[in-house]
Chains A and B, each alone.
Chain A
Amino acid sequence: MQTQNFTTTAVIMHWLIAVSIFFLFISSWWMLALPFPSIDFKYRVFPFQLHKNLGITIVFMLIILLYVRLRYRPTPVFSAGERPLLLRLAFLDHVILYILIFTCCISGYMSSSYSGWSTTLWWVLELPHWGYEDEELNMFYSDIHLWTCWALLAFVSVHVGGALYHAFRNDGFVRRMLRL
């Protein structure tokens, strides 16, 4: 089904994911500088739980976003002087972004699963413990989490740069994702 703009659900999911991703970056840099957890040192408990909760929620939001984006596709906007190569690169950037967000979140959850720490979704729902305590697998998924997140930050920068470019041109491109 084609629409002129993105749907309200897609717009809300897009901006909620954006805020969540930046919060996860900022908070993770801070929380990793806190003392390691122990019986006495509990400083990391709340930030890590919140980090995992948001990461898992982002996966659900991303699934909803992808569903509504594929179900209700906005018609491509014609803009004078738009180069086809840029359009193709923008499409590729979106695909890579979705893959990176998904991989980043899932690898974080897998790493946590093999760390021996349990995850209670938003302090309500005890999630099944898929993994067991295994330092090597924890490290393996942790490395994937780390590098996909750095890559995500790079591709988000490209994405934001592109959005700014279109907004400064005032060509109507970003307007579709800014309409509720």
Chain B
Amino acid sequence: MSGSKTVPNALGPAWASWLGIVAVVFGILLTAANVNEWMIQRVITSDGAAMQGMKPRCPEDELLEEGISLEECKLMIAKVRIMVVSRPNWFRDFQMSLSLIGAIIAFGSIFVGLALVQYSNWAPRAAVVTFSALLVIDALGFAAATNTGPLLRATYLWNILLWFSIHLIMAAGACAGQHIKDTD
């Protein structure tokens, strides 16, 4: 650590700093969540062992290693079966595409957040576009999840509604920021 100190970088308006850091934090979480959703759909196929009536393997040493009971181990198969049984045929492909696009836009939103904190000239408009795109992704995901069975709706809907609310706040904030910038 050096003893010399410097003044802060040139500061933009407070709203841009606040919205920017929020976009970065949520962008990181949403990118991770979308890649995870893509992986879930990739791994759980309709023709896997869980759908062929096979019994899961539950050796005692592995139960001990993961700290779970025999009952829990047997129920793990239900997690896979719920996904396969409750989703319509089109859901897997749709969800994989949507989560991939969502991951890309969410990753982009991290950089939009960085640009907002720096208060780059293009950042407010890019924020409006990016956060609105995330809203559309949420709406599409919500519409898709409402067309699944109740077991998947219970898993997805509340989660998506939460993200929709977050993106609505961010998009409204970006629009307000853009308006402030235009009137300045």
**Which chain A residues have a beta carbon within 8 Å of chain B's beta carbons?**
2, 4-5, 15, 18-19, 22-23, 25-27, 30, 32-38, 40-43, 46-47, 50, 73, 75-79, 91, 135, 138-139, 142, 160, 163-164, 167-168, 170-176, 178-180
Contact = CB atoms under 8 A, between A and B. Distances in A.
Given A76-B1, A76-B5, A172-B9, A35 B77 contact: yes
Nearest to B21: A167
B31 A23 contact: yes
Interface string B69-83: 000010011011000
Contacts of A37: 57
Contacts, number: 150
Interface residues of B, number: 54
Contact of A26 (B33, B48, B50): B33
A165 B129 CA distance: 27
A30 B36 contact: yes
A163 B21 CA distance: 8
B73 A2 contact: no
A170 B107 CA distance: 23
B121 to A, nearest CB: 15
Interface of B: 1-2, 4-9, 11-12, 14, 17-18, 20-21, 24-25, 28-29, 31-33, 35-36, 39-40, 42-44, 48-50, 52, 54, 56-59, 61-62, 65-66, 73, 76-77, 79-80, 107, 110-111, 113-114, 117-118
Nearest to A173: B8
A151 B3 CA distance: 31
Interface of B is mostly: helix
Contact of B118 (A25, A47, A79, A178): A178
Contacts of A179: 9, 114, 118
Contact of B59 (A2, A36, A138): A36
A35 B63 CA distance: 11
A56 to B, nearest CB: 17
A4 B79 contact: no
B21 A4 contact: no
